[in-house]
Amino acid sequence: MRQTCVIGTRGSKLALWQAHTVQKLLQTAFPDVDVEVQTVSTTGDRVVDTPLEKMGNQGIFTKELERALIDGAVDICVHSVKDMAAELPKDCVMGAVLPRADVRDVLVCGPRLTDVHRLEDVPQGARLGTGSLRRMAQLRANFPQIEPKTIRGNVDTRLEKAMGSDYEGAILAAAGVIRMGRANDITAFIPIDQMVPAAGQGAIGLEIRRGDKRIAAMCAAVNDPTTFACVAGERRVMYELEGGCQVPIGAYAHMEGDATVFDAIVLSLDGTRTARSHREADASTSPIELARMVLDDLHAQGADDILASVRAAGFRAASVRTSDVQPAGDSQ
């Protein structure tokens, strides 16, 4: 009897693209296993008229998937890592992370911004849509002439809204726009020094049951060790700062030639207070090790006080257990 592997995913167009990408990789690596895709409706998909920060950040896009995983209805949950709940359930671990796509955010301009080619060109009072407090705070800090405005919906919906009467444009993740075949809608890629990405941005993560050796071995076959290590470093920063996907924190680690490079930022909601770190070390220094240096910088610059002010404003942060971010195949 042939073995099966069931992938759980949200039902959005982008989520299905990601799940089918994982399905093809696993099916190629394990032709004797039937790899199936099953959609699961999540709270974040059902509630589309409430700003994300007002919904809390305890897995609004993942908890139903994780319940299906724990219950055995699915064997792997495929997520955009940046959307994953900050704290993994104790019975779950990260099984693999695929090679990362473009990590940057992008500017998409509507018809009233035809002469704009970068954020510096956006005129006074222009409304840019985003569902991310991280993006809003960095816009307020670096481009005070811009008016960030909450936007919800999948990639296509947000792009359509950016072209309408309520917005002059929008800020989205490059990876999602490109994966949806909408690269021609991108006006500009935003440099990392202007907007630090979210932890895990551009990466697709495979969450599995702790101790499931068969599925862990399958995930190991498609894992990208470098991306996995960088995501682990970024999540370490989120863990230490008790940050979640709806707190204004950015963290991005990558390998650049013979160096490990790490950027991180913590901001107040209005962008007036910032703690920022840029660290580089030789490639023998792991992203987890570099994360410790970055955290020292952020703590010294008042990151804890900044986040306390954010939480006092009503945006509670979830914690992430980096003990659950293990090398692929090591799920015990």
Enzyme catalytic residues: 83
- Cβ atoms of 75 and 213 within 8 Å: the answer is no
Which of 170, 185, 102 shows the shortest CA–CA distance to 136?
A: 170
Burial class (CB in 10 A: 0-12, 13-18, 19+), 304: middle
Separation of CA 151 from chain center: 17
User: In sequence order, what are the residues at sequence separation of 6 or more whose Cβ sits closer than 8 angstroms to the Cβ of residue 179?
Assistant: 14, 17, 18, 101
For the chain, how are helix, strand and coil distributed in percent, rounded to 5?
Answer: 35, 25, 40
Q: What is the DSSP string of 191-228?
A: PTTT-PPPTTTT-EEEEEETT-HHHHHHHHHH--HHHH
How many other C-beta atoms are found inside a 10 Å radius of the C-beta of residue 30?
A: 16
